[in-house]
A = this chain, B = another copy of it.
Amino acid sequence: MGTAFEKFHQYLRSRGLKLTSERKNILKKVVSIHDHFDAEELLYMLKEDGKQISRASVYRTLNLLVDSNLVEKVDFGEGRAYYEHTLGNYHHDHLICVECGKVIQFEDQVIEKRQKDICKKHKFELDYHTLNIFGRCSECNNGRREEDASTS
């Protein structure tokens, strides 16, 4: 758990940046959230905890955290960015219900491996990836007939 701070501190130093109390508080909060969240939610949680941190700092720090690989930016196609920390979490992908918005996380080694192979084939140096599968979850799907099996 201390590792996250060390990593971040190291990242900041390597760029001549500083580990301020705001950044510390943001990182502390971020690693405590074991789910995805967006910038506004994070800002709200920090305020709830009595931390007075500006919206600008939250956005700025999230960018740094993404850059330092401590946080992943995920995109659910909602026109806003979600984030999740990468600690302990092996990387995971998402099943996103277009009906109720529920997000189910999963991870699959076959797909991970296959991606690496594809990158190798294209001489592409893999950094990270995002795989989102959109559809309807089992609950929202109840009492529905199938309509199309077209797109994959």
Does B98 lie within 8 Å of A127, measured CB to CB?
Answer: yes
Chain B nearest Cβ from A39, distance in angstroms: 12
Does B129 lie within 8 Å of A125, measured CB to CB?
Answer: no
Given contacts A75-B77, A118-B108, contact A141 B128 (CB under 8 A): no
Cα–Cα, bound, A129→B111 (Å): 14
Give the contacts of A106-135 with B (CB-CB under 8 A): 106, 108, 110-112, 114-116, 118-119, 122-135
Cα–Cα, bound, A81→B136 (Å): 22
Query: Which range contains the number of A residues in contact with the other chain?
Result: 35 or more
Does A125 lie within 8 Å of B146, measured CB to CB?
Answer: yes
Taken together, the copies of this chain in the complex come to 2
Instruction: Tell whether A104 is near chain B: CB-to-CB under 8 Å.
Output: yes
Cα–Cα, bound, A146→B106 (Å): 28
List the interface of chain A (C-beta within 8 A of B). 69, 72-73, 75, 77, 79, 81, 86, 90-91, 95, 97-98, 104, 106, 108, 110-112, 114-116, 118-119, 122-138, 141, 144, 146, 148, 150-152
Beyond A124-B138, A125-B135, 19 additional pairs, beta carbon < 8 A:
A69-B151, A91-B152, A95-B119, A95-B124, A97-B124, A98-B127, A104-B124, A108-B118, A110-B114, A111-B114, A119-B135, A123-B138, A125-B144, A126-B133, A126-B134, A128-B151, A129-B133, A129-B134, A130-B130
- Give the top 6 A-B pairs by smallest Cβ distance, nearest first: A123-B138, A127-B135, A129-B133, A125-B136, A131-B131, A126-B135
